[in-house]
Structure 1
Amino acid sequence: MPNKPKVSVCIATYNGEKYISEQLNSILNQLSTEDEIIISDDSSTDATCEILKEYASKDKRIQLFLDQKFKDPIQNFQNALYRVSGEFIFLSDQDDVWMENKVSTVSQKLESFDLVIHDSIVTDEKLNQMYPSFFLYFGSKQGIFKNVLRSSYYGSCMAFRKSLLDKALPFPKTKEIGHDLWLGLVAELTGKVLFQKEPYLLYRRHAETFTMRGLGGKKRSIYKMAVGRIIMFYEILKFLAKYRFGTSKKTQ
C-alpha cells in the first residue's frame, strides 16, 4: 500500500492570540506524525509568538518563522509556502476552527484534483452560526471572469497539490490579487478545480478580523475596483504567456 502523501499546513499570523490555540488544536488533531504546520508571523505585538513557541516546544510538527517584517498578509503567506515539504498543502487562517475529517476528506479529493475548495459555516466570534453555507451566501463557483469580478477563492477553505504551488510562485507583486485568488486562478488555467459543497470549517467573523471581504467590510470606489480588475487581467495574461512559452519550450 503506498504511503499517504505528506500534508503541509501554512498559517500566516498577526496578533492572533485570542483564537490561535483553538485553531491549532483543531488542526493538530487531524494530522499524522509525518505532517507539518508552518507558521509565519508578521510583526505581532501581542502574545501570539509566545503561544506559538509553547506549542512548538511540545510538538515537532510545528515550524515557526517569527519576527518577519512584511506588513503584508500576502507576503507572509508566501514566506510560509516557500518552506513546505508536503505534497498536499492546506492554507489556514489564525482564527477559524477546522471541522472533523477535513484533512482526510480533502486529501482524498486531491488525488484527483489540483485544488479543492470546500464550503464553510459562517459564525460569530463565539462560533454561533450566522450563515449555514458560505458558498450560497457568496455565490461561490468556478470561472476566471467570475472570480476576477468577485473572488470565490478563500484560503481558509483551500488545499492544493505541490505541483500547483510550483506554478503559482512567486505571487504577483500587487495587492490587487490575494494569494488565495491567485492560486485559484492558476489552478483554473492549468489544472482541475473542485468546489466541495460539504462544509469543513467554522469560518469565524469578529471585530478583529483583518477583512470581512463581502460580509460587512468596506467597499471600494468604482474607479479603484476597475483599476484592480485591469491589473488582475494583466497578471493573468502575463502568467499565460510565461506558462505556455515555458511548456512549449520543454516539449521541443
Structure 2
Amino acid sequence: MKVSVAMATYNGEKYLQQQVDSILSQLSSEDELIISDDHSSDGTLSIIEKYMKEDSRVKLFFNEEKGVTSNFENAIKRTSNDIIFLSDQDDIWKPEKVKTVLSYYEKNPKVQMIMSDITVVDDELNPTIDSFYAFRGSRSGVIKNIIKNSYIGCAMSFRKELKAKILPIPRNVPMHDMWIGLVADMNKSALLIPEKLIYYRRHESTVTSVENKSSLKEKILWRFQISSLLLNAFIKNN
C-alpha cells in the first residue's frame, strides 16, 4: 500500500523540520508528503522548498481559502495514494507509526479510517498527558462522538476511498477531524488502535486542542448542524 501524508502548515518554522524528518524517514520511495500552506509569513516556505529540492516526495500547494479546515481539505484533495495520513506541522511521529498502521489496514480490509492513541507533550517533549484516549474517553460511535468528540486529526489515517465521502468538508463543522471520524463511523468503518504513535506537541501557537472550549450555545448548535450534515452525507453515499 502506497502512502500519502497530508500536512497543513501555517507559520510553523520552529518545529517543522523535526516533524518532516520524522515522517520522511518512514516513507518509501513511492510515497508522498503533500503540504498545504495557509499563507505563512515566517520561514515555513523556505524550509519546505529546501526539502523539495532534495526530495521529490515532498510537494507544496497553497490554500486558496484561509483556515485550518480548508487547509487540510486542500492537502487531502492533492493526495493520490492508497492510505492517507493526516499530519500537523509541529508533532513528532514515532518511528513505528506508518508500519504499525499499515499492518492494521492489511488485517482489516473493511476498515476505512484508523486512529491511534497519542502522548501529549510540551515544547520540550516532556509528557503532559500520557494517553489522549484516557483523557478524552476515546472510542468509536456516531452518537458518542456527537455528544463528546474524541477524534483528533493528527492521529488519523484513512483509505483513499473515504475521500469521496468526506469531501468537501463542511465549513460549519467544528473541526475537520470530527467530520472525518463521524463519516467513517456512519459507514461502520472506524477503528481505534491502542498504540501511542505520536508525540503531540502543545505550545502557545498550537491551533488544535485536546479540550473543547466552546460555549454551551455553540455546542448545542453544532450538534444540530453536524447531525443534519451527517444524515445528508449518509443519504448521498448510500
Structure 2 residue 222 is matched with structure 1 residue 228: yes
- The AA in structure 2 aligned to 1:239 is A
Aligned match of 1:82: 77
Structure 2 residue 112 is matched with structure 1 residue 118: no
Query: What TM-score, normalized to structure 2?
Result: 0.95
- The AA in structure 1 aligned to 2:214 is R
Aligned match of 2:137: 139
| Cα distance, 1:69 vs structure 2 | 4.2
| Cα distance, 1:182 vs structure 2 | 1.2
| Cα distance, 1:170 vs structure 2 | 1.4
Aligned match of 2:205: 208
Matched residues in 2 for 1:8 and 1:65: separation?
Answer: 14
Matched residues in 2 for 1:220 and 1:184: separation?
Answer: 19
Aligned match of 1:73: 68
| Cα distance, 1:169 vs structure 2 | 1.2
Structure 2 residue 10 is matched with structure 1 residue 14: yes
The 5 A counterparts of 1:1-252 are 5-66=1-62, 68-111=63-106, 112=108, 113-174=111-172, 176-214=173-211, 219-244=213-238
- The AA in structure 2 aligned to 1:127 is L
Query: What TM-score, normalized to structure 1?
Result: 0.90
The runs of 4+ residues in structure 1 deviating greater than 6 Å are none
Matched residues in 2 for 1:220 and 1:135: separation?
Answer: 20
SS at match of 1:203: strand
Gaps of at least 5 residues in structure 2 are none
Cα deviation code 1:42-88 (max 9, x no counterpart): 0111110111101111000001113x342211111111111111001
Percent identity, aligned pairs only, is 43
Matched residues in 2 for 1:241 and 1:33: separation?
Answer: 39
Cα pair distance change 1:191/1:221, threshold 3 Å: closer
Residues 110 and 160, structure 1, Cα contact 8 Å, conserved in 2: no
Aligned match of 1:247: none
- What is the number of residues matched between the two proteins? 235
Matched residues in 2 for 1:220 and 1:114: separation?
Answer: 29
Gaps of at least 5 residues in structure 1 are 245-252
Greater Rg by CA: 1
